[in-house]
Amino acid sequence: MFAYAAAGRYAEAKRLFEQHPVVPAERDNDMALVAQATHASVAIFEGSVREVERESAALLSHSLHAVGRYSISANVSASVAADAYYELDRIDDARETIANRRGLLQSSGPNVMIRTSLCCARLDLLQEGADTALMFPQRQTAHLVSVRQPRAVAHMLAEQVKVLLLKHDRAHMLKAMSQLDELARTHVDDPGYKKEIPAIAALARARVACESQPEEALRALEIVREHARAFGRGRLAVLTDLLCAIVFAETRNADNAHACFVRALEAGQRLGLVRTFIDEGAPAAKLRTPCARTQGGGHHVTLRERFAR
């Protein structure tokens, strides 16, 4: 299932699980629970947050009672559940799920460490502010370098770029961006999950170029879009459309901005995305008003309320 998810072949991953279901006698076995947790993690790569929330929360509870807090299945389930909770703006639940679980950040598999590290970094930014938020990804980057996890390192460097942009710390931002670009060049021809590294770098580069070099930002976002399309990464596709809408709005290209934003909203509604929109802050908030005038329905109303808050 992990291999199929790496290739974006989600239907085959799910079919494999359906063809080899966990028998009732094994339902409390840790490795059987790991298989179920892997099934939930496939959906998080797809971006189906609502589906993940239901499945991972129940599975985490089962793992905690059946095999304990520090079991492999509990770690995998907790990372997936926290990712879903954060995306759904259930901030307290996300923080509680990963609290006092050092293994999730230090000694788990790459996907678990990436999901949990991103959740921690974003919770710190939301709850503690940019100065405090920068400390965790810097510390975690050093650890991930030491355990040779380049994809996880790329994610942490990209988070640093985001925070440094908020702090208007151009010198340190360019240093982090340079490290990320070098990592992308090193892994440009890698297969599987590592194929994500150049897309992570392109996304960060688009953020850097958004205001001053809109054409460069759009070129970088096209790299991200192609990766999201090729590997079926639903949330990444929505984020790409949202950032394209922001760039088009900055250049007063209202038609393209509107088209990208509506496409992002429609896909976001289907997947259950919330923080993907909120976390882009004021530039994304500016897009909601013209869309609200022309679109009927529910998802943009919820987002408007959350943006206002």
Cβ neighbours for 114, distance < 8 A, ≥ 6 positions apart: 151, 152, 155
Which pLDDT score, from 0 to 100, does residue 240 have?
Answer: 98
Which pLDDT score, from 0 to 100, does residue 65 have?
Answer: 94
Which pLDDT score, from 0 to 100, does residue 156 have?
Answer: 97
Which pLDDT score, from 0 to 100, does residue 302 have?
Answer: 47
CA dist., res. 263 & res. 234, Å (int): 12
Cβ neighbours for 200, distance < 8 A, ≥ 6 positions apart: 151, 154, 155, 158, 180, 184
Q: How many CB atoms lie within 10 A of CB 236?
A: 22
Which pLDDT score, from 0 to 100, does residue 291 have?
Answer: 54
CA-nearest of 85, 87, 78, 84 to 113 is: 78
Which pLDDT score, from 0 to 100, does residue 51 have?
Answer: 82
Domain spans of the chain, in order of start: 1-109, 227-309
CA-nearest of 150, 86, 139 to 114 is: 150
Q: Average pLDDT per run of 10 along the chain, which is 309 residues long?
A: 92 92 89 91 89 90 92 92 96 93 83 94 93 91 94 97 95 96 94 93 96 94 97 96 96 94 95 95 80 46 45
CA dist., res. 6 & res. 36, Å (int): 17
Which pLDDT score, from 0 to 100, does residue 108 have?
Answer: 84
Which pLDDT score, from 0 to 100, does residue 309 have?
Answer: 43
CA dist., res. 87 & res. 301, Å (int): 17
Which pLDDT score, from 0 to 100, does residue 74 have?
Answer: 92
